[in-house]
Amino acid sequence: MINTVTGPVSSEDLGFTLMHEHVMVSASGMYRSYPDLLGPNREERAVARLKEAKAAGIDTFVDATTFDLGRDPELLRTVSQRSGVQIVNVTGWWLDVPRFIRNVSPNQMAREFVRDITEGFRGTDIKAGVLKCAADFAGVTPELEIMNRAVARAHLETGVPVMVHSYPTGQVARRQIAIFKEEGVDLERVKIDHSNDTTDTEYLKWILDQGCFLGLDRYPGYLVSPHMRTVTMKSLIDDGYADRLCPAHDCICLHILNERADGTMPEEHALAVRNPDGYLYMHRHVIPELKAMGVGDDVIETLFVRNPQRFFAAA
Ligand SMILES: [Zn+2]
């Protein structure tokens, strides 16, 4: 069974699943302490976008918002209940490690993450269903290595799979995977995310050949054009890797809004202006382009239904 924010579901009930999205991204405690920074009608805006997603055929998404990205489990539960989209939330850590916890041990953090999975986020009965760790252009810094090892150990204890924020331009997954190997993690339970921020298929095939899933989870994204992301995905499909690719958007519905120089407030964050299709970009642009390139319905089903099922199902 997989923990969603509304309770456990079986992997057969996931349906069409986007494996890396966000309802809200801010900072720890922001949603409760300074919610107006996220703009007006927050819950209503999120519910409207997810209802639209559900109507388009999106049954489930993985919400990759960790504690340091501002996770609010009760917001996620409400939005899931009101929209009908099943949400699996993460525990673990993204990139923001506050100075006072930089010297905790991996085992200390692992115990906290295990509790999020087995008992629920503190003060709630909402349980995490995925683990996440991260490194970016600076590589796996000492404080991020603690989180990486903590996530590996929480995975070994609970069996919950791991998603990994990575930085393909710097081939940072080479170090992240080395740490998982040292910790004894089965790499078939690990997904290396943001991998379509490169077109370097030699590097991507190296990751796949380690056994990992690959998150092709930035659309439309910045570093690579949407078309070249899809060309790269098609090339990996043609090379026989369809059963380990997970396309998604890394779309964010609620974000901190920045006042303009003239004192007026924008209604939407720049990311939403850039991608007005939001969570539907895949259905409106990527899937049609894949089909035009000759990718059949069976492969589409593999990418969005069977791969998430296998990622979550115990090895
Ligand atoms: Zn993300």
Within 39-85, strands assigned E span: 60-63
CA of 116 to the centre of ligand 1 (A): 19
CA of 262 to the centre of ligand 1 (A): 31
Taking 50 as the threshold, does the pLDDT of residue 315 lie above it? no
Residues in a beta bridge with 24: 254
Arithmetic mean of pLDDT, 191-214: 98
Average pLDDT, the chain: 97
- How far apart (Å, rounded) are the C-alpha atoms in residues 295 and 300? 7
Q: Which residues contact 183 (CB under 8 A, 6 or more apart)?
A: 149, 152, 153, 156
- pLDDT tens sequence across 28-42: 999 999 999 999 999
Query: Would you call the peptide bond into 220 cis, given omega within 30 degrees of 0 as the criterion?
Result: yes
CA of 132 to the centre of ligand 1 (A): 10
DSSP 251-271: -EEE------TTS---SS-HH
Within the chain, strands assigned E span: 2-4, 7-9, 17-24, 60-63, 86-92, 130-134, 162-165, 190-193, 213-216, 245-247, 252-254
pLDDT at 268: 84
Under the banding of pLDDT at 50, 70 and 90, the label for residue 119 is very high
Query: DSSP secondary-structure letter at 285?
Result: I
CA of 73 to the centre of ligand 1 (A): 16
CA of 21 to the centre of ligand 1 (A): 6
Q: Which of 68, 74, 77 is nearest to 123 (CA)?
A: 74
* HSE (side-chain half, CA atoms, 13 Å) at 223: 14
Q: Which of 201, 211, 210 is nearest to 236 (CA)?
A: 201
pLDDT at 274: 87
- How far apart (Å, rounded) are the C-alpha atoms in residues 227 and 246? 17
Q: Which residues contact 103 (CB under 8 A, 6 or more apart)?
A: none
**Helix or strand or coil: residue 88?**
strand
CA of 274 to the centre of ligand 1 (A): 16
pLDDT at 33: 96
CA of 158 to the centre of ligand 1 (A): 23
pLDDT at 87: 98
Backbone angles phi, psi at 231, to 5 degrees: -60, -40
Helices 173-183 and 201-209 pack at an angle, to 10 degrees, of: 10
CA of 65 to the centre of ligand 1 (A): 7
CA of 94 to the centre of ligand 1 (A): 9
Under the banding of pLDDT at 50, 70 and 90, the label for residue 273 is confident
- pLDDT tens sequence across 237-270: 999 999 999 999 999 999 999 999 999 998 888 8
Cβ burial of 94 (10 Å; 0-12, 13-18, 19+) is: buried
Residues in a beta bridge with 2: 9
- How far apart (Å, rounded) are the C-alpha atoms in residues 135 and 303? 25
CA of 126 to the centre of ligand 1 (A): 20
Q: Which residues contact 181 (CB under 8 A, 6 or more apart)?
A: 187
The stretches of 84-209 forming alpha helices (DSSP H) are: 106-118, 142-158, 173-183, 201-209
CA of 28 to the centre of ligand 1 (A): 15
- How far apart (Å, rounded) are the C-alpha atoms in residues 103 and 106? 9
CA of 103 to the centre of ligand 1 (A): 25
> What is the extent of the structural domain holding 273?
2-312
CA of 38 to the centre of ligand 1 (A): 17
CA of 104 to the centre of ligand 1 (A): 25
- The model's pTM is 0.97
Share of the chain above pLDDT 90, in %: 96
Check: CB of residue 143 under 8 Å from CB of residue 115. Answer: no
Which has more pLDDT, 315 or 96?
96
pLDDT at 244: 98
CA of 12 to the centre of ligand 1 (A): 25
CA of 5 to the centre of ligand 1 (A): 18
* Counted domains in the chain: 1
Which amino acid is it at 253?
C
Q: Which two tokens stand for residue 305?
A: 């239904």
CA of 40 to the centre of ligand 1 (A): 23
Check: CB of residue 16 under 8 Å from CB of residue 67. Answer: no
CA of 218 to the centre of ligand 1 (A): 9
CA of 279 to the centre of ligand 1 (A): 13
Arithmetic mean of pLDDT, 78-93: 98
What is the separation, in whole angstroms, between the first and last Cα of the chain? 13
CA of 167 to the centre of ligand 1 (A): 12
CA of 92 to the centre of ligand 1 (A): 13
Check which CATH number belongs to the domain holding 210 and give it.
3.20.20.140
